[in-house]
Amino acid sequence: MYRGQSVFSQLMQFVPWKAFSRIVARYRGDRGVRQLNCAQQFRAMAFAQLTRRRSLRDLVACLEAVPAKLYHAGFTAPISFSTLARANQRRSWHIYQELAQRLIARARPLYADEDLGLNLDDTVYALDSSTVDLCLALFGWAPFRATKAAVKLHTLLDLRGSLPAFIHVSDGKLHDVKALDLIVPEPGAIYVMDRAYVDFRRLFRLHQAGACFVTRAKKNLLWHRVYSSPKDRAQGIEADQLIALDGQRARQAYPLHLRRVRYQDPDSGKRLVFLTNRRDLPATTVCALYKRRWDVELFFRWTKQHLEIQRFFGTSENAVKSQIWIAVAMYALVAIVRKELGLALSPYRMLQTISVMPFEQVPLYELFSESLRPSGPGAAGLQLQLFES
């Protein structure tokens, strides 16, 4: 029988602890700390994410229930509620932001060869934001509306692997389009966005940097046709045009021609109008690129459902941002484990398995192989029959 490390301890081995120590030293995270250094704080909060604890008290009670197993899981001392709450409030969230970014940088090359199904070799990003509503009385530092607070996650998702290449956490008032000012455009990459990001000055900056974009046109767009390519109504392409902007401000902000594609969904009958600066792609590919923008919506839905970023363990800005970045780090860590172990298991199934077996002493590969065993009516023949009729 395997008597090695616990599942949680094996997962923590994928964390770059030497790099983490350098990050902590740079921010002086362990300065004057007697109990619960940054590494222990991260382990505790990572455990909360992986096992879906709902509060600090829930987390501490869970760890206190298995004191004999804590040391072998990497905890060198018991975790106190007050000590952990104080650490979340005071330790700089930038520590966990940098750790998450390092894990993402490690994960993205593992998924670089994934096929997008679009016959494209370009890097494709989807840009969007998601709002997490908060109580204004408790989270006064994140104003959103007159009676509501919120934090907003502005996310640039690499569609190969659905990994966030950029995340910015702001209060709810920051408009989506301003996230374009925070991104360093990557030459040759394609940025897919909805019409909330239509700002021609910012889009022209992407074009000048050598990047491409695909977005939806607003209904009040003023333009005139310069050239029309053949239609393909069988594929839903009602128009494929080269256009010039007519509005004075828009024309000054984006003085070049744009490509306009009007598409009718054959299933729903809905008409969509896309704008792009990429002229060499088939019109059907432009439409398919915008359809892949839905991946970023799925990313937000997945993280909200399977990681703890809606119930926060503290009310300060530092505690909230620390928890969000540790959740992102866990998302990247699961993605790394999945690729490096060569697993076909979905991240959801992996998290479900980890959440119920964190202290089991089972090799990771065997643990996930066990979870792939067939279940349901067809699996009854694989089990011993205790009673025969």
What pLDDT, in 10s, does the model give residues 124-164? Answer: 999 999 999 999 889 999 989 888 999 999 999 999 988 99
Instruction: Give long-range contacts, CB 8 A cutoff, 24+ apart: 216-224.
Output: 216/272, 216/273, 216/274, 216/275, 216/290, 217/260, 217/273, 217/274, 217/275, 221/245, 221/247, 221/250, 222/246, 222/247, 222/250, 223/258, 223/260
When mean pLDDT is compared across 164-178, 273-287, 371-385, the lowest value belongs to 371-385
Tell me the backbone φ, ψ of residue 138, rounded to 5 degrees: -95, -30
More confident residue, 4 or 40: 40
Note the pLDDT tens digit of each residue in 309-364: 778 999 999 999 999 999 999 999 999 999 998 888 888 888 888 888 888 888 88
> What pLDDT was estimated at residue 370?
58
Average pLDDT over all residues of the chain: 89
CB 311 within 8 A of CB 323: no
Percent of the chain beyond pLDDT 70? 94
> What pLDDT was estimated at residue 386?
39
Note the pLDDT tens digit of each residue in 85-120: 999 999 999 999 999 999 999 999 999 888 888 888
For the segment 46-56, the average pLDDT, to the nearest whole number, is 90
Of the pLDDT bands very low, low, confident and very high (cuts 50, 70, 90), residue 1 is very low
